[in-house]
Amino acid sequence: MRILVTNDDGIDSPGIYALAHALRKIGEVIVVAPDRQQSAVGHALTVSSPLRATPFHRDGAMFGYAIDGTPTDCVKMAISTLLPEKPDIIVSGINHGTNTSINVLYSGTVSAATEGMMMGIRSMAVSLTSFDHAADMSIAAEYACAVAKQLPTLELPSDTILNVNVPTVPRDVIKGIKITRLSKSMWNDHYERRIDPMGHDYFWINGQYITLDDDITDSDDMALKDNYVSITPIHYDLTNRAVMKRITLLEEIIL
């Protein structure tokens, strides 16, 4: 099995290293990842500047290609141009930080898997709930490996990816895997106003994440809270067909 590995934390992050290391047990691993931190870039694609692909070494050996672009760029460029053959699966991660609920729309990690799916490859994203760069990635890597192994035979629809989130707790505290839905949530954001040394305003984003359906037990956020590994099948069938009929009155607009 040929496995393309990418992420959004950058090719030098501990998460992608642990992931690539674990996946080598089940297949041939090719790493193509951003050359720097690309968190919260969503599905951004570089169209108005060119890209470079630079060989990146780690522990004295070629680890993969570093791209000066986004996670979406990495997947597009790997599959269309860099790799001699299409990979069988794509695994994106391991992200430093949870990617549940509405956060999948901001997540570069999830967007890389989405781009893979759009290019016809079975894809999954993996995230650890901890933002600590020293966090132990090995358990998340093992779960990623176990799920990746089954990805080709799962018969996912062609518009669907798997979004895996792993709680940051000791191995014996993890209760197992739970198939979940995205929770309903929101960010209560504000921008903190500061004054620079020249006397001009600037603003830092500062937000609180609020889950809105804590009474429902099969959501991704609740599964993590209960120390389960959460796996959500995410699809991109974005047309709201039920609403199509309800807004046909708009067809009566005449200028």
Cα separation, 167 vs 174, in Å, equals: 8
The answer to whether 199 contacts a copy of itself (rule: CB under 8 A) is: no
Question: For residues 173-192, which are near a copy of itself according to CB under 8 A?
Answer: 176-182, 186-187, 189-191
Q: Does 248 bind a copy of itself (CB under 8 A)?
A: yes
Cα of first residue to Cα of last residue in the chain, in angstroms, is: 57
CA distance 124 to 5: 10
Q: Which of 61, 134, 198, 254 binds a copy of itself (CB under 8 A)?
A: 254
Those residues with Cβ within 8 angstroms of residue 164's Cβ, 6 or more apart along the chain or in another chain: 93, 124, 125, 126, 127, 143, 144, 147, 229, 230, 231
The site for a copy of itself, by CB under 8 A, has a size of 86
Rounded to whole angstroms, how far apart are CA atoms 170 and 156?
30
Q: Does 131 bind a copy of itself (CB under 8 A)?
A: no
The H-or-E segment that residue 91 falls in is strand 89-96
235: left (phi over 0), alpha (psi -120 to 50) or beta: beta
Identified binder of a copy of itself from the candidate list 1, 83, 118, 169, rule CB under 8 A: 118
- Return the range that interacts with a copy of itself (CB under 8 A); candidates 12-20, 24-32, 35-43, 87-95: 35-43
Cα–Cα distance list, 153 to 109, 143, 253 (Å): 23, 17, 49
Distance in angstroms (rounded) separating the CA atoms of residues 202 and 194: 5
Asked if 89 is part of the footprint of a copy of itself (rule: CB under 8 A), the reply reads: no
Q: Is 84 in the site for a copy of itself (CB under 8 A)?
A: no
Contacts of residue 24, Cβ cutoff 8 Å, sequence gap at least 6: none
When the beta carbons of 28 and 203 are compared against a copy of itself, the nearer one is 203
Distance in angstroms (rounded) separating the CA atoms of residues 168 and 129: 6
Which of 194, 210, 212, 226 is the binder for a copy of itself (CB under 8 A)? 194
Beta carbon nearer to a copy of itself, 28 or 189? 189
Residue from 17, 33, 76, 93 in contact with a copy of itself (CB under 8 A): 76
Min. distance of Cβ 108 from a copy of itself in angstroms?
Answer: 8
Least separation, in Å, of the C-beta of 16 and a copy of itself? Answer: 18
18 forms part of the interface with a copy of itself (CB under 8 A):
no
134 binds a copy of itself, rule: CB under 8 A? no
Does 198 engage in binding with a copy of itself (CB under 8 A)? no
- 156 near a copy of itself, rule: CB under 8 A: yes
